[in-house]
Structure 1
Amino acid sequence: MKPSISIITIGVDELERAFAFYRALFEIADEQIGAGEDHVAFFFDDAFSFVLFPREQIAQTAGKDVAVPGTPGFVLSHKADSAEAVDAILDRVLVAGGSVITPGTQSEWGYSAYFEDTEGNVWELMASPPVN
């Protein structure tokens, strides 16, 4: 895997407060911001996004029951070329001594998986859905 960080997701305790802070800091146009019930995404270009996500949900993503000390405060996301590439990277993660948190799963946003390195850092692998 040649790492290409496509998204950085950070855990926050108060989504609205964090959104206000980063909105002011980034000076980004409204059309470059996407928000859902549980997150806010700042889209800087086609290759990079910065996402705010509740810390408790990052804990769940990392396979933890609650956000305890040692729970990652962020997730690095790598955009792969295809679902097959995501699965191939997961195979390499296991060979290298990491662990798969969530195997490759198809959703409306594409194909994604989560893994943990040998130090407990969480990565997301994702492939955009094919364009019809």
Structure 2
Amino acid sequence: MYQQMIFVNLPVNDVATTRKFFTELGYTINPQFSTDDCACVVISDTIIAMMLSKQHYANFTKKRIADAATTSEVLLCLSAESREKVDELVDRAISAGGSATGETQDQGFMYGRAFDDPNGHTWEVMWMDPAAIRS
């Protein structure tokens, strides 16, 4: 069965800082699709984040590029396999130079936290009890 992929393209202030940040979170950089103007961050087999310098990003749009530090352009949400893994990833993001954002969401069957990366993009990390999904 064909696995559809998503390539999220995000403008960043500093590609090298962004590359270091996501590497510290445990993700890999695909060198085949990375340059000084772009870091290809492999989040999973089907999720790729293309972190493009603002100059490079501008080649793909005629629209004004949002400043993620002051404007919400997108909320990205990653699943985690447990509550502990949510905390582990968000805590690692904060240690790597990100910042905590929003309140911890704990609804019993669903748990989530969020961080902003060094470019201001908001990443939510959430866990949902598989039994709650089936009911």
TM-score, structure 2 normalization? 0.44
TM-score, structure 1 normalization? 0.45
Bigger strand share: 1
